[in-house]
Copies of this chain bind each other. A is one copy, B any other.
Amino acid sequence: MFTRSVRKHSRLVSLQHARGRCGGPGSTHEDVDGVRTLLQLCVDRHYVSPGQANVERFQRGLGCCYGPLGVELRRNLLERWWDSVSRSSAQVFGISSVCSSSLHGGAHGHTTQKIVDVDRLKETLKQAGSKEQLIQEVHMLLQGSASLRTNFLQAALEQYVPSLELVNRKLPFGLAESGVCFQSSDGCAAEVTQASLVWFCSPKTSSHWMDHWARQRLKWWKKFASSPSDFDSSDVPAEELDGTASRGVKVVYSFPWGQEPLETLWNRGDAELLQMHKGVRNKLQSRDGRKSVPHVVSVTANMDRGVMAYLHNSLQQLKRENSKQKLQQRKVLKVHPVLAPVKVALDIGRGATVELRQICEGLQLELQEAEISVWPGYLDTVPTSMEQLNNKYDEMGVLFTVLISENTLESGLLQVRSRDTTIKETVHISEIRHFLSRYISAADSM
């Protein structure tokens, strides 16, 4: 059968001295190969769209073009993130702001990316008289242009006042948002899909809440890992604290080229909230006891890097001997059942294809209604061996492969192969939905 490869070991070795970029100084050859294999697999199996620049963005934890499987994985991850922060306590509300506003840049000045109307700028260049006039007019045009958000903090601080009404001025509560934010990377615009929780609590409870969220967030990231020890958290050194923050914590993932932050938490105090609302304390005060202005704990996750981390974490390369006693490598993407973009592939064996297809269509509908994502392998009419099919599905991270055959027509029995054990079971068609639901929810509650 299968024997575990040395991947696990080689990664541990490499982490001891690899802190540069992938392929840079400090990375071993095995690392470079491992990362290359992963990225190639992500492209081949439609997690990430092809193209070197795109794949590089993906590796660096930036927004990139995703293929169908990547879209689903990121969507599942975002949904889980949202559930975990909003259900952990009663009062978390979702908000949604716009990407660009004249405010972001004005109030804080740390955004250097602005949206400029090219036609208007070109017009300005044409019309201006002297060089001095030209410079002045370009500056004016820039001043009137909207800045792109770098995070969701400003939007949440703004929304604090109407939201306080919503909870009848009672703390604590949180405002959550997810979507695209913009960063400046080497003078170019780079996008990141962020998920953000901004938590408002009384000053005396803020360090308790900071501890709570830091613990919760690390636990959450580890929950979906194949190898949880690659996820860790640490305090931000005092000299690197963000603005007025009194404490910072980063949840990091150990890539072969070093640790990178997945989620960052700051205990920010009340300074930014007061600044946003121009110091009008009575607008900000909560109802309980001391009429205090709340302190802010912010939690910001990079979901693009999260996708990369989980894909890296879940790729296992296993060696086995084939029938001719030759060593073969089997690659399996052991993405957590809850996150896996495809839960089940439906395929048909040889036989009366019309009837078998009809069974597949019915089953697909039934599973989709139970929110179980299905890969309609039965639609593919190009013949492939079962081994090739299994290899493909393992690389896609498909949890189960269901094979419907002539036998199903007679007895109602299906063959179900598990990605993780490679064991094949026989299940009755009326049981399959329940079988899959139970498996996924069991994995979720572990």
Residues of A near any B CB (own CB < 8 A): 46, 49-50, 57, 63-68, 70-72, 74-75, 87, 90-91, 93-100, 105, 112-122, 125, 130-131, 134-135, 138-139, 142, 145-146, 148, 155, 158-159, 162-163, 166-168, 170, 179-180, 182, 184, 187-189, 191, 361, 364, 368, 376, 379-382
Given contacts A113-B118, A116-B114, A119-B112, contact A65 B125 (CB under 8 A): no
Cα(A96)–Cα(B91), bound, Å: 31
- B65–A155 touching, CB < 8 Å: yes
Tell me, rounded to whole Å, the shortest Cβ–Cβ distance linking A90 to chain B. 5
Given contacts A65-B97, A95-B66, A162-B67, contact A116 B116 (CB under 8 A): yes
Cα(A139)–Cα(B368), bound, Å: 51
Q: Which residues of B contact A114 (CB under 8 A)?
A: 115-116, 118
Pick from A119, A125, A162 the residue with the most CB of B within 10 Å: A162
- B96–A71 touching, CB < 8 Å: yes
Cα(A109)–Cα(B127), bound, Å: 22
Tell me, rounded to whole Å, the shortest Cβ–Cβ distance linking A173 to chain B. 10
Q: Which residues of B contact A188 (CB under 8 A)?
A: 117, 146
Cα(A161)–Cα(B221), bound, Å: 34
- B125–A118 touching, CB < 8 Å: no
Q: Give which listed residue, B87, B120, B148, B159, contacts A49 with CB less than 8 A.
A: B159
Number of copies: 2
- A148–B95 touching, CB < 8 Å: no
Q: Report whether over half of chain A's contact residues are helix, strand or loop; otherwise say mixed.
A: mixed
Given contacts A64-B98, A96-B66, A98-B64, contact A117 B112 (CB under 8 A): yes
Chain B's closest residue to A72 (CB) is B94
Selected A-B contacts with CB under 8 Å, 6 pairs:
A68-B163, A71-B95, A72-B94, A87-B368, A112-B118, A121-B142
- B166–A46 touching, CB < 8 Å: yes
Q: Give which listed residue, B50, B125, B148, contacts A138 with CB less than 8 A.
A: B125
- B93–A63 touching, CB < 8 Å: no
- B162–A46 touching, CB < 8 Å: yes
- B74–A96 touching, CB < 8 Å: yes
Pick from A96, A145, A187, A376 the residue with the most CB of B within 10 Å: A96
Extra A-B contacts (5), CB below 8 Å, given A68-B93, A122-B139: A68-B166, A71-B93, A117-B187, A138-B138, A146-B188
Given contacts A148-B115, A168-B381, contact A99 B180 (CB under 8 A): yes
Given contacts A94-B72, A96-B65, contact A115 B117 (CB under 8 A): no
Q: Which residues of B contact A187 (CB under 8 A)?
A: 117, 119-120
- B117–A189 touching, CB < 8 Å: yes
Tell me, rounded to whole Å, the shortest Cβ–Cβ distance linking A158 to chain B. 8
Q: Which residues of B contact A189 (CB under 8 A)?
A: 100, 115, 117, 145-146
- A379–B170 touching, CB < 8 Å: yes
Chain B's closest residue to A147 (CB) is B118
